[in-house]
Amino acid sequence: MRVKKITLRKVQLPLKSPFITHQINLENRPLIIVEAMDEVGLVGYGEVTAFPTPFYTYETIETAWYVLGELIVPRVLENELVYPTGFVNLTNDIQGHQMAKAGLEGALWDLYAKEKGLSLSSVLGGKRQVVPAGAVISLTNHWESDIKNLKKDGYQRYKLKVRKGREAEAISAVQHFDPSLPVMIDANGQYDEKDMDHLIALDTYGLMMIEQPFKAGDFYLHKQLQLEMKTPLCLDESVMSVHDAIQAVQLQSCRIINVKISRVGGMTAAKKIHDYCLEYNIPVWCGGMVESGISKAHNLALASLPNFTIAGDLSSSTRYFEKDLISPGISMNRGEINVPDAPGIGVDVDREYLEAVTHQMSVFSC
């Protein structure tokens, strides 16, 4: 696989409604779209899902733009890759910057699968033709109407963003509306050691899981809490690499892992984490980053692997955006989404709209 041209685009996608957590309030979603073109003109697409500020990880759209343009893109253009996994060795000496790496590696996976005339799912060894969809509900005062609409669409898992001390309010509102709904909460690392008893008390709600209660990288406190709780803990921000996933499993810091392609540095690492967790009977699910249909298509390919047994942050193109970057968009039917089976990520990018929402572009060629 010889890449002849790489294009980076900064885009802004308007959100249908603000996405609010205790850390950020997004009204527009900035993204970097990566295009990798080979010698015959085939194009692979990837997406950098960093945020404007470093609230989730240290990366931002601006740091990813710099690292890609100055460090990573030139290496890809100077080297021929036999298989997309070779990208990892090519960039191993660049510490961190997982989202920047994932964006370009994603474009390489899409391009490679297109060159082979195969779907990305089949290249990865996916086993599912459809995957269950799960909804993410940001902080809101409209629990009942939001849940009613999502339930009507058939979502199979409901993730609630919460504020410390007001978890019961959110959980009770949802369970009052429908006690049968599979509900989890996402803490985004808000808690510390003094909150142990408070978290243990949440056992009474029978949640599917509590995601990332403590700060990223704190395997010790997660282990201590999991020993005291029946509710499974799920790690998100703590798992930035395959090594982190191995630590989490071996230290028994969680019973579930959220795999985000962008957070762990790309599809190669994501698949390795899936394979390791499968070996140790740790279920995984595919996390989302309020991303466009390009990333969603990559996520669907990943979620087709056998150990993705929990509905992930997988939703239709209309969930967050009035208009997506792909056409036709990703649609959901009764809580399930078809895994694209056309070559590559299996969706068509709306080039006209992509051009319209691009506000900065850099083109590199060899």
Q: Which residues are catalytic?
A: 161, 260
Q: Residues 336, 132: contact at Cβ < 8 Å?
A: yes
Q: Is 163 exposed, middle or buried (0-12, 13-18, 19+ CB in 10 A)?
A: middle
Contact residues for 61 (Cβ-Cβ < 8 A; gap 6+): 10, 30, 31, 32, 48, 50, 51, 52
Distances 182 to 142, 174, 232 between C-alpha atoms, Å: 19, 10, 13
Bridge partner residues of 234 (DSSP): 211, 256
Among candidate residues 159, 156, 166, 160, the one with its CA nearest the CA of residue 139: 160
DSSP secondary structure, 12-79, as one string? EEEEEEEEE-SS-EEEEEEEEEEEEEETTS-EEEEEE---SSTTSSS--HHHHHHHIIIIIHHHHHHS
DSSP secondary structure, 265-285, as one string? TSHHHHHHHHHHHHHTT--EE
Six-digit token string for 76: 């890809």
Q: Give the rounded distance of the alpha carbon of 295 from its chain centre.
A: 8
DSSP structure class, residue 87:
H
| Amino acid at residue number 90 | L
Distances 239 to 97, 212, 236, 268 between C-alpha atoms, Å: 14, 10, 6, 15
DSSP structure class, residue 345:
T
- Count Cα neighbours of 39 within 13 Å in the Cβ-side half-sphere: 3
